[in-house]
Amino acid sequence: MTSSLHHRRTRIVATLGPASSSREVILSLAEAGVNVFRLNFSHGSHEDHADRHAAIREAEARVGRPLGILADLQGPKLRVGVFENGPVFLKEGQSFRMDLDRTPGNETRVCLPHPEIISAAQPGSHLLLDDGKMKLRVVAVSEGVLDTKVVVGGKLSERKGVNVPDVTLPIPALTEKDRRDFDFALSLGVDFVALSFVQRPEDVQEARDIADGRAWIVTKLEKPQAMEALEPIVRLSDAIMVARGDLGVELPPEEVPVAQKRAIAEARRQCKPVIVATQMLESMIESPTPTRAEVSDVSNAVYDGADAVMLSAESAAGRYPLESVEIMARIAARVEQDDEWRARMDKVRFTPEDTIQDAIAQAAWQVSCTLQAKAIAAHTKGGRGALLMARERPHCPILALTPDINVARRLCVVWGTFPHVTEHERTAYGIEELAAPAAELAKTLHFCVKNDRVLVLAGRPYGHAGSTNTLRIVTA
């Protein structure tokens, strides 16, 4: 890798699937710059995911750096029923009934096997069918029945998806399938669990209770209701994902970029990593090169300061998974060399909270700029010190030193953070004993050369989570 690629701040999440399940491909993706691998539990068996998990851990040993693994739960899937004679064509202005009757549908009605939707909908509510291709407006609600008018027509096939953008549905974010998948993912030892269909903070709290610290909870922002409760949802999450596919179905398309920027800003304010996902290099499913619009889209997320950008079908089912990772890494690395990108990172900074850790992180940013330090080595037990340092968006890489491999893997999604597992486990170490080895490691990992300055952050006594209270400047 070139120096710019090696020091790339923006992390890459890549989804595994039929095109990328072999050990050889997973290793090549890791070598190309993937930081976190996503296991999509909407597809594949538990055995498939277990095999991929094992292959990732083998690749981790080969590349010599931590790799994160994210289990993405499917969430509730709301769908219409079946039709008696195949697809029907809905015409604008026609009446169309949706009910609980399991009888196959026709041109005038279909089963909607979700009583929660019928009970929550009101006249004026809208239903979106087949990823938003068709739109219905509810005109009347009766026992087990929605009478609607077709606003946007089209061909409706059986079991197509239903979205209800303007109603909070009394449906839990975790289905029985999700609970089984959740337990299995935790038994594998994944680092992150992504939660779909979040509408309210309570959905996130339920997932946190299940995880019980065994994995970080990544909340997917894909419902308008989640955007309305953004601040408390981010507060309860360990990280968030801007899932622009589903969000784009339920929000007007012009609102999606605004929601993305809001989410990135709020996540950074609360010191939580944020992943921008969906259709980033969509054309590379079939093409070896992206469109210029896609390159601009990835660049925009990097300019906004997203912690990570994600590949979905591009790496899971596309013809060019490796090329997709390589071009995404190149785009991010190029943007990060731009003076305008640096100016944006410096401009958007936040008032620290009244804690020693916050004050040390802000001071380290200033000192590293003044002295043109080449690296910040942050000793962290639980990861909080590295997260606080990353929020400052320093000019130099953050070498996150932790004795816990699980913490190191979770930090793989954090902007500008390069986690490394140390052998220090005793609590007797002081900053003096930690500084020189940290600077030597920074040299070994090619973050600096002899006589460069390195900042070292640690807590006294060493080894206590949340105790970062010391900043030392050392010469490599």
Which residue out of 10, 278, 402, 468 is catalytically annotated? Answer: 278
Strands 308-311 and 274-277: parallel
The gap between the terminal CA atoms of the chain, to the nearest Å, is 23
- pLDDT for residue 429 is more than 70: no
Angle of the 339-347 helix axis to the 292-303 helix axis, nearest 10: 40
Name the band, by pLDDT with cuts 50, 70 and 90, for residue 462: low
Which residue out of 38, 109, 223, 384 is catalytically annotated? Answer: 38
Q: Where does 46-114 have alpha helices with state H?
A: 46-63
Phi, psi of 249, deg, nearest 5: -75, -40
- Is position 220 annotated as part of the catalytic site? yes
- Distance between CA atoms of 423 and 331, rounded to whole angstroms? 35
Which two structure tokens, joined as six digits, stand for 222?
């894909």
- Inter-residue contact 283 to 290 (CB < 8 Å): yes
Per residue in 304-350, pLDDT (tens digit) is: 999 999 999 999 999 999 999 999 999 999 999 999 999 999 998 88
Which residue out of 79, 160, 177, 200 is catalytically annotated? Answer: 79
Which two structure tokens, joined as six digits, stand for 434?
């930690």
Which two structure tokens, joined as six digits, stand for 324?
């997709």
- Distance between CA atoms of 387 and 463, rounded to whole angstroms? 17
- What proportions of the chain, in percent to the nearest 5, are helix, strand and coil? 40, 25, 35
- Distance between CA atoms of 301 and 423, rounded to whole angstroms? 36
Per residue in 193-227, pLDDT (tens digit) is: 999 999 999 999 999 999 999 999 999 999 999 99
- Average pLDDT of the residues in 450-457: 93
Share of the chain above pLDDT 70, in %: 95
Share of the chain above pLDDT 90, in %: 87
For residue 18, what are the CA distances in angstroms to 49, 278, 290, 334?
A: 11, 18, 21, 30
- Distance between CA atoms of 36 and 59, rounded to whole angstroms? 12
- Is position 319 annotated as part of the catalytic site? no
- Identify the pLDDT of residue 435: 83
The domains found in the chain, sorted by start residue, are 3-76+172-340 (3.20.20.60), 88-163 (2.40.33.10), 349-475 (3.40.1380.20)
- Distance between CA atoms of 218 and 71, rounded to whole angstroms? 9
- The whole-chain average pLDDT of the chain stands at 93
Which residue out of 220, 384, 410, 472 is catalytically annotated? Answer: 220
- Inter-residue contact 421 to 405 (CB < 8 Å): yes
Per residue in 57-104, pLDDT (tens digit) is: 999 999 999 999 999 999 999 999 999 999 999 999 999 999 999 999
Name the band, by pLDDT with cuts 50, 70 and 90, for residue 463: low
Q: Cα 132–135–141 angle (5° rounding)?
A: 125
Tell me the HSE value of 389 on the side-chain side, using a 13 A CA sphere.
Answer: 35
- Identify the pLDDT of residue 468: 73
Phi, psi of 431, deg, nearest 5: -60, -35
